[in-house]
C-alpha cells in the first residue's frame, strides 16, 4: 500500500472557519488515480469529527490537482480557535497520510 504523499503534495489555506486543501499530483499521469481515490466523502471520513460541515471537491485537471473545501474545519476560525494550528496549515499533511490501493 502507498500513502498519498508518495504521488502528491498539498497546500492549505483558510478563510474563517473554512479550510481549503489542494492536492497536486507530482506526475500528471497520477492525476486519474487521485480523482478515483479522493472523493469528498472519503476526505470527510478521513478527518472525522475535525470537519463539522460539508466537504466539496473541485477538479482541476489542467493543473493535475484536486481542491477540497472543508466547512467547519477550524474550530471557529483564527480569531475564535484556541488550537495550536488555528489556520489549519497541518491539514494538508494529515490528508497526505491517506493510504492508496
pLDDT at 13: 81
> pLDDT of the chain along its 101 residues, tens only?
889 999 999 998 878 788 899 999 999 999 999 999 999 999 999 999 989 999 999 999 999 999 999 988 876 555 554 454 444 567 888 899 999 97
**CATH number of the CATH domain containing 29:** 3.30.70
Q: Report d(CA 41, CA 36) in Å as an integer.
A: 12
Residue 49 burial (C-beta neighbours within 10 Å; 0-12, 13-18, 19+): exposed
Look up the domain containing 37 and give its range. 2-100
What total number of domains does the chain contain?
1
pLDDT at 39: 97
Amino acid at each position: 500500500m502507498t500513502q498519498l504523499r508518495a504521488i502528491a503534495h498539498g497546500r492549505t489555506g483558510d478563510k474563517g472557519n473554512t479550510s481549503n486543501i489542494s492536492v497536486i499530483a507530482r506526475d500528471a499521469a497520477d492525476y486519474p488515480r487521485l480523482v478515483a481515490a479522493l472523493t469528498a466523502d472519503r476526505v470527510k471520513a478521513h478527518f472525522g469529527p475535525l470537519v463539522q460541515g460539508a466537504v466539496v471537491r473541485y477538479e482541476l485537471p489542467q493543473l493535475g490537482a484536486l481542491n477540497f473545501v472543508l466547512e467547519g474545519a477550524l474550530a471557529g476560525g483564527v480569531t475564535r480557535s484556541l488550537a495550536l494550528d488555528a489556520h489549519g496549515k497541518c491539514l494538508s499533511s494529515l490528508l497526505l497520510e491517506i493510504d492508496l490501493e
